[in-house]
Amino acid sequence: TSMEATTILSVRKNKSVVMIGDGQVTLGNTVMKSNARKVKKTYHDKVLAGFAGATADAFTLFERFEGKLEECSGNLTKAAVDMAKEWRSDKMLRRLEAMLCVADKKLSFILSGTGDVIEPEDGVMAIGSGSMFAISAAKALMDNTKLTAKEIALKSM
C-alpha cells in the first residue's frame, strides 16, 4: 500500500484565491500524519500549488512544476501546458501517481495524473480522495452565502 495525501481545495471569489489542504497522509485507511504541508507558495510567492497522491510522486511533480514556472517567467498557463506535455512524453513522469492544483491571481488549473490541464469553470477546484465532499460543500456555500473565499474554503474542509 502506498502513502497518499488526502484533500486540497481552492476557492476563487471576488478577486481573492485561497488554497488549503487537510494535512492528512494516509496509509490505506489509516491516518499516519495529520499536519503535512501540502500547499506551498512558489514563484516569488505569486503562485499557490497544492498536491495530492503518493507523497514522493507529489514532491517530484511539484519540483518539476516549479522549474517550469521559472522557465516560463511565472506564466501559469504556459507552465501548466508545458508540464502536461512533459508529463505525457516522459516515461518516469507518466508513472507518477499524483495531481497538482495551481493558482495565481487570475487563473486556476488542475494538472491531472494523465497529463491533462483542467481549468475550473466556477472558481472552485479540489483534488484528492476527499475532493468531491470539499467541492460540493464549497459550491453550495459559494451559491448560497456571502462568505469570503477563505471562509468558504475553511468551512468546506
Three-state SS at 11: strand
Residues taking part in catalysis? 6
**Tell me: the pLDDT tens digits for 24-36?**
776 667 777 777 7
**Tell me: the pLDDT tens digits for 67-88?**
999 999 999 999 999 988 888 7
Q: What are the start-end ranges of the E strands in the chain?
A: 3-5, 7-13, 16-21, 25-27, 30-33, 39-42, 47-53, 98-103, 108-111, 117-118, 124-128
Mean pLDDT, the chain, integer? 88
Question: What is the pTM for the complete model shown?
Answer: 0.88
**Tell me: the pLDDT tens digits for 92-104?**
666 777 899 999 9
- C-alpha R_g of the chain: 15
